Structure 1
């Protein structure tokens, strides 16, 4: 199968995940770029950031049109995580990669279990967000994202649901604001590594991801919050299991 076809298929899957679940882009994009399209890990990370930034911004616009984005809480959440992410990123270089991968798997599994608990399923009522909680949750997520290198969306959605009591569709939309901000901030520090990117592959990948993001958003609007939340939790458990296997082998 040609690289173009693989890029289109992988891009569509990444876009649908981001649009419907508000996360999973980097977790899916990086392995696809490395194992399917032959990118080096460094190039795959930078290319993934480019793809996720464009796709997240497009999906964010689609969710915002339906009122599924809490701008003030999302901005607090994203801004609070920038400095902790930078500090944790510097510390991550001193830790073995298997330890980081296993840590992420454990945290992701814990978040999934919390989402599967009946008491954690949102009632659909708009929550009153306490700024201190939004800042605290955002700082914690930023530290984890900087330390572990992945997981912005996959950890943002559970945090918005379980800590800030967001309804699932609103958590998905607001998560895209957080992902967009984090991705642009990370991409700004990687300008030099973007020079070797194969745009003949990244262009179609990104285009398919953007279109997939719109499809994912429409899919999310047709599913109840409870089903969407449980689907997200199951996907999160699968990702955690795969990452744990990778860490142990």
Structure 2
């Protein structure tokens, strides 16, 4: 199968997840780039940021039109992660490739387990905790910078449990956080962008953007809990494969 077809298929899946779940798609983008399209881990994390930015902004626009984005709170949450995202992005290129792969596998496993236990709005506290929200925002920024993932799989439950958002508002606002952190991280990765194959990333990103629109529509037809469980099972398999690869 040609690289173009693989890029289109992988991009469509990534966009579908981002549009439907508000996060998680970028956790599939990196392994797809490494194992299907022969990117190095460093180049894959950088390329993933480019894909995540374009796709998240598209999904953000769709959710904003539906009134699902809380701009002020989301901006404050995102601002806590900007400096950690930039610092981690600068450090990522200096880390050994197997370490990046192993770390990514661990994060993917955590993401899958988190999705298998979806957060219910009813479990959210009545009062938000600003200090905890700042800490979570900073952690998400560092994760984005280091591994090239948007962190939506952590941002959505954090917005629900820490800031008492309704689920749809959490999904929409998480896309604002993802976009901001990814931009901050990409700004420090100038050296690694030179190795990105734009002939692959272009179609991948285009398919992801279209997939994000389909993902937003999918949420009106299929149970969000069912989508999360199916995605989590796939993600666990990907995490196991990547961990085995890092250890061999």
TM over 0.5: yes
Q: Residue 165 in 1 paired to residue 164 in 2?
A: yes
CA distance in 2, matches of 1:37, 1:100: 17
Q: 1:196 to 1:144 in 2, by over 3 A?
A: closer
**How many residues matched?**
248
- DSSP 3-state at the match of 1:47: helix
On the 8 A contact 1:125/1:167 being kept in 2, the answer is: no
Match runs of 1:76-91 below 5 Å: 76-87=76-87
Number of the residue aligned with 1:214: 213
On the 8 A contact 1:167/1:225 being kept in 2, the answer is: no
How far off is 1:82 after superposition?
1.9
Q: 1:229 to 1:8 in 2, by over 3 A?
A: closer
With the length of structure 1 as denominator, give the TM-score of the two structures: 0.79
How far off is 1:172 after superposition?
1.7
How far off is 1:121 after superposition?
1.4
Number of the residue aligned with 1:49: 49
- DSSP 3-state at the match of 2:72: helix
Extract unaligned runs of 5+ from structure 2: none
Number of the residue aligned with 1:195: 194
Deviations along 1:154-206, whole A, 9 cap, x unmatched?
Answer: 22223223333333322221111111111111111223433343322222111
Extract unaligned runs of 5+ from structure 1: none
On the 8 A contact 2:45/2:147 being kept in 1, the answer is: no
Q: Residue 205 in 1 paired to residue 204 in 2?
A: yes
How far off is 1:140 after superposition?
3.0
CA distance in 2, matches of 1:246, 1:90: 25
- DSSP 3-state at the match of 2:194: helix
On the 8 A contact 1:73/1:129 being kept in 2, the answer is: no
CA distance in 2, matches of 1:133, 1:38: 39
How far off is 1:83 after superposition?
2.3
Deviations along 1:47-71, whole A, 9 cap, x unmatched?
Answer: 2221111111001100111111121
Question: Structure 1 stretch 237-246 or stretch 192-201: which is displaced more?
Answer: 237-246
Q: Residue 31 in 1 paired to residue 35 in 2?
A: no
Q: 1:11 to 1:94 in 2, by over 3 A?
A: closer
CA distance in 1, matches of 2:135, 2:43: 32
RMSD after superposition: 3.4
- DSSP 3-state at the match of 1:81: helix
On the 8 A contact 1:11/1:209 being kept in 2, the answer is: yes
Deviations along 1:75-102, whole A, 9 cap, x unmatched?
Answer: 1111101223345567778987767766
CA distance in 2, matches of 1:38, 1:205: 14
